[in-house]
């Protein structure tokens, strides 16, 4: 327990108590109080309680896996050089890991067996500790979860020195084998459609036209170009060349669930590409351009640049 006392200097009372410095030595720190002794004693008690709480949480033996993941996000992930999209995906994965009972386990008690069982549960499904069924997750999400645990445990070993070795180095990422019917007939293989049919597209666009829904144009662009919906929503008229019938994909729009903001950022592979389009889409885009009330000066959205922890976000706001 921290020991403290109060003393009077002039008209004011001061309180002081012992704390540990970075090297582990106990030193006395003094803080100004008020002109009332009782109020200063109350400040002393509160300060010592806060200090004891922080010291308890700071001890490696009391840190849970969830606490360590939060430390990794704030001290290593956010200040790092990864893209905003990757950071957002890692933060979402951290939230999911913390919801599992393994997130509440003391960090020093987490073993490779615990981590292997957790990864196997994500890969193959099964039963959660609370008895509810757990579905197998996609290979992409398993890779995300593995990357988060690998990097965060490495961070816990160094520079934090919370543990002495990384148990994730002994965890094997397993996956289900692909089922394949050696005797499947060719007729059974037909019928797999990679996208919606033209009839389905017509039904969808007719419905959106009847509702005067602003999603109509993005759906039309996505159908005729194959762009991701985030890339379509981030297009501007400067990116579209109606004369050459091509558009340039420079950015993508997404909702950041951790920041609760709509953002514009780089495309998935951070590459600028040009996509050609047909006469049908050219007519659609020309009609949409002609229908703008204010011509080239028309704006629906605007972006605001925000900096957090050496990271830049471009938040989207709607007029």
pLDDT value, residue 52:
72
Name, in order, each residue with C-beta under 8 angstroms of 227's C-beta and a sequence gap of 6 or more. 221, 249, 275
Phi and psi dihedrals of 218, rounded to 5?
A: -60, -40
**Beta-strand runs (E) in the chain:** 4-9, 12-20, 26-32, 126-127, 133-134, 240-241, 246-249, 252-256, 261-265, 273-276, 301-308, 311-318
pLDDT band at 130; cut points 50, 70, 90: confident
pLDDT value, residue 81:
87
pTM (global) more than 0.75: no
pLDDT value, residue 22:
53
Q: Which residues pair with 20 in a beta bridge?
A: 26
More confidently predicted of 191 and 307:
307
Q: What residue ranges define each of the domains in the chain, with the CATH number in brackets?
A: 4-58 (no CATH), 65-170 (1.10.150.130), 198-318 (1.10.443.10)
pLDDT band at 183; cut points 50, 70, 90: low
Phi and psi dihedrals of 25, rounded to 5?
A: -80, 145
Selection from 74, 4, 94 nearest residue 42 by Cα: 4
pLDDT value, residue 155:
94
pLDDT band at 174; cut points 50, 70, 90: confident
Mean pLDDT of 269-285: 93
Q: What is the pLDDT of residues 47-99, one digit of tens each?
A: 888 877 665 554 567 789 999 999 999 999 999 988 888 999 999 999 999 99
CB 231 within 8 A of CB 281: no
More confidently predicted of 261 and 21:
261
* Percent of residues, the chain, with pLDDT higher than 70: 87
pLDDT band at 300; cut points 50, 70, 90: confident
pLDDT value, residue 185:
55
Mean pLDDT of 159-187: 77
* Percent of residues, the chain, with pLDDT higher than 90: 57
pLDDT value, residue 6:
92
DSSP per position, 239-271: GEETTTTEEEE--EEEEETTTTEEEEE--TT--
Q: What is the mean pLDDT of the chain?
A: 86
pLDDT band at 301; cut points 50, 70, 90: confident
More confidently predicted of 300 and 68:
68
Residue 270 pLDDT > 60:
yes
Contacts 24+ apart (CB under 8 A), 299-307: 303/264
pLDDT value, residue 219:
95
pLDDT value, residue 252:
93
């Amino acid at each position: 327990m921290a020991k403290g006392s109060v003393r009077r200097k002039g008209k004011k009372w001061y309180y002081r108590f012992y704390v540990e410095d970075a090297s582990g030595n106990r030193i006395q720190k003094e803080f100004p109080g008020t002109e009332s002794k009782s109020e200063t004693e109350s400040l002393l008690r509160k300060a010592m309680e806060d200090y004891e709480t922080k010291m308890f949480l700071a001890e490696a033996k009391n840190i849970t896996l969830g606490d360590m993941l939060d430390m990794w996000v704030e001290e290593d992930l956010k200040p790092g050089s990864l893209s905003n999209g990757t950071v957002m995906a890692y933060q979402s994965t951290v939230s999911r890991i913390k919801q599992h009972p393994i997130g509440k386990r003391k960090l020093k008690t987490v073993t490779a067996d615990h981590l292997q069982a957790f990864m196997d549960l994500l890969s193959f499904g099964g039963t959660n500790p609370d008895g509810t069924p757990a579905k197998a997750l996609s290979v992409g999400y398993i890779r995300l979860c593995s990357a988060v645990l690998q990097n965060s445990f490495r961070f816990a070993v160094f520079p934090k020195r919370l543990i002495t070795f990384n148990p994730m180095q002994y965890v094997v990422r397993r996956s289900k084998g692909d089922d394949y019917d050696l005797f499947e007939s060719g007729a059974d293989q037909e019928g797999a459609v990679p996208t919606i049919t033209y009839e389905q597209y017509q039904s969808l666009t007719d419905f959106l036209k009847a509702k005067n829904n602003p999603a109509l144009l993005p759906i039309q662009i996505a159908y005729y170009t194959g762009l991701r919906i985030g890339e379509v929503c981030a297009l501007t008229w400067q990116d579209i060349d109606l004369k050459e019938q091509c558009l340039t994909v420079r950015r993508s729009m997404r909702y950041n669930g951790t920041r609760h903001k709509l953002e514009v950022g780089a495309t998935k592979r951070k590459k600028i590409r040009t996509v050609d389009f047909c006469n049908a889409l050219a007519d659609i885009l020309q009609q949409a351009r002609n229908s703008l009330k204010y011509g080239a000066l028309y704006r629906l959205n605007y972006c605001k640049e925000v900096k957090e922890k050496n990271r830049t976000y471009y938040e989207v706001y709607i007029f």
